[in-house]
Structure 1
Amino acid sequence: MKIMIGYTTIGVNDMEKAKAFYTELLADLGASLLMDMDRIAFIGTAMDAPMLSICIPYDENDPLPGNGNMVAITAPNKEKADELYHKAIKLGAICEGEPGQRIPDMFYGAYVRDPDGNKLVFYVFG
């Protein structure tokens, strides 16, 4: 059975900087740069698995992070969510919510904004 979402795209200002940020950040989850086509790149574990796409907007205007939009990245456990959060900060992200239990016994999350302002959460249910 396939997962419903094939890939999620976020806009960036600097492709090289964004590719470096995301490939290094997500390498610990087995992800790598799968396809690079100048203004758009796909990062993930396989072409038939959910991927993250980063791109320079088609209209070449500045990318604008949405209010209420967020990319949720699954971590295998709370420790890995913490590691990804701290790695993202080290790579230039800013804190949007330190790692912690958000809903008792149900949801653990760590929130950052990437260098382009896109909001990410590293999370674990449980």
Structure 2
Amino acid sequence: MIGYVTIGVSDMEKAKAFYLELLADLGAKLMMDMGRIAFIGTEDGGTMLSICVPFDEGDPQPGNGNMIAINPGSKAQVDALYQKAISLGGTCDGQPGQRIPDMFYGAYFRDPDGNKFAFAEFG
């Protein structure tokens, strides 16, 4: 149902490098680049991540209470991608761990612009 989600970034080249490297293990690649906005996704046509310099050219502002969750397919992938995000310049916003017994395993990080993400495995 969701085609793409968009986050604001302050440096397109830095943001593209961060997300393309981070999500490469999930098969993500640059699907479309229009200069001020770029779409990162997979060949299967699923939901894409859009990164952009805000249209008004003001500072990007991460939303308070907003978060994008990505399900990489396993707890091991949650751990690996969280560590990769941190090594690429992301910051910890909650280390990997079981959040709801037998139901939800997650790890939280913020990208270099402060946008909040989770890698999450359900089940």
Please give the TM-score of this superposition, normalised by the length of structure 1: 0.96
The structure 1 residue matched to 2:101, chosen from 95, 99, 104, is 104
The structure 2 residue matched to 1:9, chosen from 6, 9, 12, is 6
Partner residue in 2 for 1:90: 87
Separation in structure 2 between the aligned mates of residue 120 and residue 48 of structure 1, nearest angstrom: 21
Q: Which consecutive aligned stretches of 4+ in structure 1 deviate over 6 angstroms post-superposition?
A: none
Shift of 1:48: 2.8
Q: Cα deviations across residues 5-35 of structure 1 (Å, max 9, x unaligned)?
A: 0000000000000000000000000000111
Separation in structure 2 between the aligned mates of residue 46 and residue 40 of structure 1, nearest angstrom: 19
Partners of 1:34 and 1:47 within 8 A in 2: no
Separation in structure 1 between the aligned mates of residue 43 and residue 32 of structure 2, nearest angstrom: 10
Q: CA RMSD in A?
A: 0.8
How many residue pairs get aligned? The number is 123
Separation in structure 1 between the aligned mates of residue 62 and residue 44 of structure 2, nearest angstrom: 25
The structure 2 residue matched to 1:113, chosen from 102, 110, 114, is 110
Partner residue in 1 for 2:25: 28
Closer, same or farther: CA 39–47 of 1 in aligned 2, 3 Å: farther
Identity over the aligned pairs, expressed in percent?
72
- The reply on whether 1:43 has 2:40 as its aligned counterpart is yes
In structure 2, list runs of 5 or more residues that go unmatched. none
In structure 1, list runs of 5 or more residues that go unmatched. none
Shift of 1:47: 7.2
Instruction: Determine helix, strand or coil for the equivalent of 2:61.
Output: coil
Partner residue in 1 for 2:56: 59
Partner residue in 1 for 2:70: 73
Separation in structure 1 between the aligned mates of residue 44 and residue 102 of structure 2, nearest angstrom: 33
Q: Cα deviations across residues 71-93 of structure 1 (Å, max 9, x unaligned)?
A: 10111100000000000000000
